[in-house]
Amino acid sequence: PESADLRTLAKHLYESYVKYFPLTKAKARAILSGKTGDSAPFVIHDMKSLTEGEQFINCKQMPLPDQRPEMGLGFGMGQESADEVELRFFHRCQFRSAEGVREVTEFAKSIPGFVGLDLNDQVTLLKYGVIEVLIIMMAPLMNKDGTLISYGQIFMTREFLKSLRKPFCEMMEPKFEFSVKFNMLELDDCDMALFLAVIILSGDRPGLLNVKPIEDLQETVLHALELQLKMNHPDSLQLFAKVLQKMTDLRQLVTDHVHLIQLLKKTEIDLCLHPLLQEIMKDLY
């Protein structure tokens, strides 16, 4: 009966994962391997294709993060500098990240027992967990050559991201290095759903008021993840341990990411950080 409960929990978390995250690993891998019936994603590999990619997305009514009329949309203007295009791209990434935070919050609320926790602890778990979750969610969208963005409609090359000016060029490379290794574990969407819940329910986040109920919840999800990995990957030795080890790498990735954002805030005059992301990153590490 106990393992039946753990299977029910796995199924529940998988269902909410599919409900709240629009681009699953299964869909992303199908796009990356050209196995969808739809057309291939638009490829961004230089500044010109970046501007064209923006046009492609605007045609599909994606809201712009900054709609000041004097900024224009950059079409056919010619005089717009690469700096401006890069900054606008960064703003779009922030807008998407804020939307990602909303998705992760809804997923967290669907974890049995989460909304029963002290509200301040729910905030702390999200504040510390959400960037880790967003980085894990990026992995299925990436391969060694680039990443899907805009819900899989666009593929942006790793070389292009490396060619941006400092420190933008340093933002994604560590995530590619992590993702290429993480993808070798070959987790599927159900494995991912359980792993994300384990990350969110970390009882060692700074400032938690009531650790015990969080640890109890995490323990149950850990059992469900262990069982899931044994059943789904019977030939993959020590997979459970390997997956858990990734949590250490994740914390370092987040620390480095937050430091880069803080550096950006100092060096880029025109940079405005999304209020939700500001809230999360303030006094984080």
- Cα-based angle 52, 55, 68 (whole degrees, multiple of 5): 120
End-to-end CA distance of the chain: 42
Of 123 and 180, CB closest to another protein: 123
Of 126 and 139, CB closest to another protein: 126
Q: How far is the CB of 280 from another protein (least distance, A)?
A: 7
Of 86 and 99, CB closest to another protein: 99
Q: Are the C-beta atoms of residues 106 and 194 closer than 8 Å to each other?
A: no
Q: How far is the CB of 121 from another protein (least distance, A)?
A: 11
Q: How far is the CB of 279 from another protein (least distance, A)?
A: 6
d(CA 160, CA 163): 5
Of 99 and 226, CB closest to another protein: 99
Of 121 and 191, CB closest to another protein: 121
Q: How far is the CB of 198 from another protein (least distance, A)?
A: 19
**Alpha-carbon distances, residue 194 vs 3, 66, 249 (angstroms):** 15, 36, 18
Of 63 and 72, CB closest to another protein: 63
Q: CB atoms < 10 A from the CB of 248, how many?
A: 9
d(CA 163, CA 175): 16
Q: How far is the CB of 47 from another protein (least distance, A)?
A: 28
Q: Are the C-beta atoms of residues 169 and 162 closer than 8 Å to each other?
A: yes
CA 31 to chain CA mean position, Å: 18
Q: How far is the CB of 122 from another protein (least distance, A)?
A: 5
d(CA 236, CA 161): 33
Q: How far is the CB of 123 from another protein (least distance, A)?
A: 5
Alpha helices, H only, the chain: 2-20, 25-32, 47-59, 82-109, 119-138, 158-163, 173-183, 189-200, 211-232, 239-267, 275-281
d(CA 194, CA 68): 41
Residues in contact with another protein by the rule CB under 8 A: 63, 98-99, 101-102, 105-106, 109, 115, 119-120, 122-123, 126-127, 274-276, 279-280, 282
Of 54 and 103, CB closest to another protein: 103
Helix, coil or strand: residue 113:
coil
